[in-house]
Amino acid sequence: MQPNTPCLDAHYYDGRSSRRQPVRLSVDDAHLLLDSPEGVRRSIPAAAVRASEAQGSAPRTLRFVNDNAFCEVGQGPELDALLTALCHRDSIAVRLQNRWRWALASLASIALILLAAYFWGLPWGAKFIAPHVPVTAMRSLSDETLAQLDKYLFKPSALPEDRRRKLQDDFQKFAAADPGLAPYGDRLVLSFRASPAIGPNAFALPGGQIVLLDELVALYDDDAEILAILGHELGHLSKRHGIRMLIQSSAVAVISAAWLGDISYAVGAVSGALLSSGYSRDMEREADDYAAERLRQRGESPALLASALEKLEAAHHHLRRAQKDRDKDGGGGGEKYLDWLSSHPNTGERIRQLRENP
Amino acid sequence: MQADTLPLLPDDAPAGPHSGPATTDDAAPARQDEAPVEYRLRFTGTGDEYFRIWIVNLLLSILTFGIYSAWAKVRREQYFHRNTLLDGSGFDYHGEPKAILKGRIIAVALLGTLALVDKFAHDFYPLALIALPLIPWLMIRSFVFRSRNTSFRGLHFDFHGTYKGLCKAYLVPFLVFIALAGTVAAVAAVIYTTTELTGMEGAFRMLVFRKILSGVSLLGMFLLISMLLHRLKAFQFNNLAFGASCFESWFKLKSFYGIYLRVSVLFPLLVVLAFAPILVTLLLLAGIPVGGVRGIAPGIVPSIAFAVLIIAIALMYILLLIGPQAWFAVLQNNLIWNKTRLDKHRFKSDQTFWRFFWVLAGNLLFMILTLGLYWPWARVKIARYRAEHTAVLAAGSLDDFVAGATREKSAVGEEVAEIFDFDFGF
């Protein structure tokens, strides 16, 4: 054995029994030499030696191709020298995971990927998938949602029967002109409700129902403005925003459950809800554009929706003011802190857009 | 014995064999010709190392749309196996990334199909019941894959359990379940048809019957779960082999009743009893009425009491959330390993509730504070605690095991089991 070749002690196992034999390893002429006082004498070509990846400070193994025997070697500079002599090279992944620099770079990359996926990938993917989801799949979900809302938030509408019939007829005529709404079938109806707790509002459920609250009807003298608002809601249905939001929130729920599920399902669920509340800015704009286009087709001006939104905004402003006054007496004010989380688009901006494109 | 232990690691010394008192607490079928030598397991991994491995492999898995996750899994298993040392030699993991990838693809396809059927064709969902007989098969495949891919000193573990064996193990609990459900249903039917259940008195009788029936059902479930768990663990450990040697376990069903009783009844009861006086006192101090009584405390005492109350409730919640889990794991591990042997060698597990509870509680706290980034450190802490409280009581040398026959290994069962969140870990 030449004095300049690396040389170290290891354990040798033959693969047939659990017997542990001390063995001395060295390298000579591109061969790994095994030598033990108990009689193991082997010479293995460097190309047939497979070194295990370094796993922390655990001993590494040197296995040999087509052989159950192997050596177990403690880590240290001697082993590194031996592996260098055997021309062993760690894989890229191993070299990355050995350095804090690369680990932290990986962490930063994962954070960036997650952010990009959330802000761009997810909306894009949902937009791509949504047209292929049959709207019938949303029916039971919508019915359940409406039943829940009826139970806790909604009251029966107090509008007179003939007023309701007139609005329903106008709505159906408005909707029938868009073949894109045909898949919703007989679920595409106007559902009349009242809710002092919510105030003037209208909602589109992904199954096709549009809920119109008495408070909103009371806000307008002209039915054309109500129809403009309903046109906006029909935009959400036609562009399948509900389904898109559902796809997005499911994806967020699955990913956060996979990441945080080990802590608690509750944490995962809460983060999922926080990350996906309400329609996005883009969806609201898309629904506005849809309503404006439909109004133009009917020979009406998109400014109708603008003025309807203006009145709605004023009514909500008034409500919030009243709420704030009440909060001053009784503490509270949680809404203020949640405001930045909700994706309510800037109504002023929307109104300006509608006015500028007659 | 000490002579042939080479200094593989710089800090190898404390792990060297030392004579421990033989635990012969009960009639173990072990032949003990000489005093056994205690080899304690050691875990040499650290959270820092495992964090780097985890995060790099996670990134690679994301960049390859999950394909690399099979390689990441092998690396993870290898990290935990190789860093677990017994008498200076590490365990090893030999799972093939490609086999795991194949298993994962099948598992994801299966899960996806089930989810789609559930979402869009709910009426056909009962058809999924056809897959029920597959579950024992999946469990066995999972045991086989894991044991055959684990080795120590060059010898592989193996699992000899058969489909028939597992079905047989579950037959008795299943019949007990049928008998129990049948009896409850029959008794209920008899009562409802023969007793007057109208009027005030009838309504009261009805209420009593319902309480008794639900009590009987609960007791039945309790007996059944203990029985199922006992049979599963007995099946697992009595079919496990190391090389050509077989493991043998003799833990009793009544011990499992004891574990379940302590974890599901005694523990919550103790926690509530311990916290009730504290909570009532704090409520009164905070000026919140309890049962019509309202405490009056001066100055800032109510605010302080309220803050302490919140902390006390959080503590109680954490205790009830992870306490039973920790106690169950500790009791079960101790029971099983202390009543298992491999040839003439025995095992010792001396985990204690409070220590393990603190490990889990600390993990939970840091996981929340770091939004899940603490995960690698948490896993390492659990692995270290488990290893350091498990020992082999070797009767003679660990050199004398011989290899068994080698057989094929497919990862399908293992991966399906993992994705459906079954945990059959040894």
Q: What is the DSSP string of A331-355?
A: ---HHHHHTTTS----HHHHHHHHH
* B8, B58, B83 member nearest A110 (Cβ): B58
The answer to whether residues B388 and B232 touch, using CB atoms and an 8 Å cutoff, is no
Residue B382 reports pLDDT greater than 70 = yes
- The pLDDT tens digits of the residues spanning B147-157 come to 889 999 989 99
Chain B nearest CA to A310, separation (Å): 40
Strands A190-194 and A210-213 turn out to be parallel
Residue A181 lies in a domain: yes
| pLDDT confidence band for B122 (50 / 70 / 90) | low
In chain A, the number of structural domains is 2
Q: Which residue of A has its CA nearest to B404?
A: A16
Residue B421 lies in a domain: no
- The pLDDT tens digits of the residues spanning B366-381 come to 988 888 889 999 999 9
The answer to whether residues A231 and A294 touch, using CB atoms and an 8 Å cutoff, is yes
The answer to whether residues A184 and A142 touch, using CB atoms and an 8 Å cutoff, is no
Residue B233 lies in a domain: yes
Chain A nearest CA to B390, separation (Å): 19
* A55, A74, A263 member nearest B372 (Cβ): A263
The answer to whether residues B238 and B249 touch, using CB atoms and an 8 Å cutoff, is yes
* A14, A57, A262 member nearest B154 (Cβ): A14
**Mutual angle of helices B412-419 and B97-120, in 10-degree steps:** 50
Q: What is the pLDDT of residue B121?
A: 67
Residue A185 lies in a domain: yes
Residue B140 reports pLDDT greater than 50 = yes
- The pLDDT tens digits of the residues spanning B281-290 come to 888 887 777 7
Chosen from B59, B65, B151, B369 to mutate, greatest number of chain A CBs within 10 A = B59
Q: Which residue of B has its CA nearest to A23?
A: B6
For chains A and B, what is the number of CB pairs under 8 angstroms?
142
Residue A310 lies in a domain: yes
Chain A nearest CA to B187, separation (Å): 37
The answer to whether residues B104 and B417 touch, using CB atoms and an 8 Å cutoff, is no
Chain B residues in contact with A134 by the CB 8 A cut-off are 120
Residue A109 lies in a domain: no
Instruction: Round to whole Å and give the CA distance between B312 and B279.
Output: 7
Question: Can you give the CATH number for the domain in which A26 is found?
Answer: 2.30.29.30
* B49, B89, B119 member nearest A72 (Cβ): B89
> Counting beta carbons within 10 angstroms of the beta carbon of residue B67, is it exposed (0 to 12), middle (13 to 18) or buried (19 or more)?
middle
Residue B80 lies in a domain: yes
Chain A residues in contact with B44 by the CB 8 A cut-off are 56-58
Residue B137 reports pLDDT greater than 70 = yes
* A74, A93, A97 member nearest B9 (Cβ): A74
Choice between B331 and B7, residue whose per-residue pLDDT is larger: B331
Chain A residues in contact with B403 by the CB 8 A cut-off are 15-17, 68
Residue B202 reports pLDDT greater than 80 = no
* A14, A16, A93 member nearest B57 (Cβ): A93
Q: What is the pLDDT of residue A137?
A: 75
Same domain, A24 and A150: no
Same domain, A151 and A295: yes
Residue B160 reports pLDDT greater than 50 = yes
Same domain, A64 and A125: no
Please give the residue range of the domain that contains residue A239.
116-356
Residue A108 lies in a domain: no
Q: What is the pLDDT of residue A220?
A: 86
In chain B, the number of structural domains is 1
CB–CB contact A58 B402 (8 Å): no
* B52, B53, B155 member nearest A18 (Cβ): B155
Same domain, A148 and A93: no
Q: What is the pLDDT of residue B179?
A: 84
Please give the residue range of the domain that contains residue B78.
13-20+30-89+172-397
CB–CB contact B399 A102 (8 Å): no
Chain A nearest CA to B335, separation (Å): 26
Chain B nearest CA to A107, separation (Å): 6
Choice between A244 and B124, residue whose per-residue pLDDT is larger: A244
Which of A270-279, B53-62, B245-254 is predicted with the least confidence, judged by mean pLDDT? A270-279
Chain B residues in contact with A11 by the CB 8 A cut-off are 6, 8, 88-89
* B44, B51, B92 member nearest A103 (Cβ): B51
The answer to whether residues B229 and B148 touch, using CB atoms and an 8 Å cutoff, is no
Residue B160 lies in a domain: no
Same domain, A89 and A223: no
Residue B426 lies in a domain: no
> Counting beta carbons within 10 angstroms of the beta carbon of residue A233, is it exposed (0 to 12), middle (13 to 18) or buried (19 or more)?
buried
Residue B159 lies in a domain: no
Same domain, A283 and A346: yes
What mean pLDDT, rounded, does chain B reach? 82
The answer to whether residues B7 and B341 touch, using CB atoms and an 8 Å cutoff, is no
Same domain, A19 and A125: no
Q: What is the pLDDT of residue A28?
A: 86
Chain B residues in contact with A73 by the CB 8 A cut-off are 8
Same domain, A251 and A305: yes
Q: Which residue of A has its CA nearest to B367?
A: A263
Residue A1 lies in a domain: no
Residue B52 lies in a domain: yes
Choice between B352 and A283, residue whose per-residue pLDDT is larger: B352
Chain A residues in contact with B119 by the CB 8 A cut-off are 137
Chain B nearest CA to A246, separation (Å): 13
Residue B201 lies in a domain: yes
Same domain, A139 and A47: no
Residue A190 lies in a domain: yes
Instruction: Report the DSSP beta bridge partners of residue B40.
Output: B391
Residue A229 lies in a domain: yes
Return per-residue pLDDT of chain A as tens, 358 residues.
Answer: 444 567 889 999 988 889 999 999 988 888 888 888 877 888 888 888 999 988 888 999 999 988 889 999 998 888 888 888 888 888 888 888 888 999 999 999 999 998 898 888 888 988 888 888 887 777 877 888 888 888 888 889 999 999 999 999 999 988 888 888 888 888 888 899 998 887 888 888 888 888 899 988 888 888 888 888 899 989 988 888 888 888 887 787 777 777 765 544 445 455 445 444 567 778 888 888 998 898 888 888 888 888 888 888 888 878 777 777 766 654 444 343 333 333 445 777 788 888 887 6
Same domain, A249 and A351: yes
Chain A nearest CA to B329, separation (Å): 17
CB–CB contact B57 A14 (8 Å): no
Same domain, A152 and A273: yes
Mean pLDDT across B255-274: 91
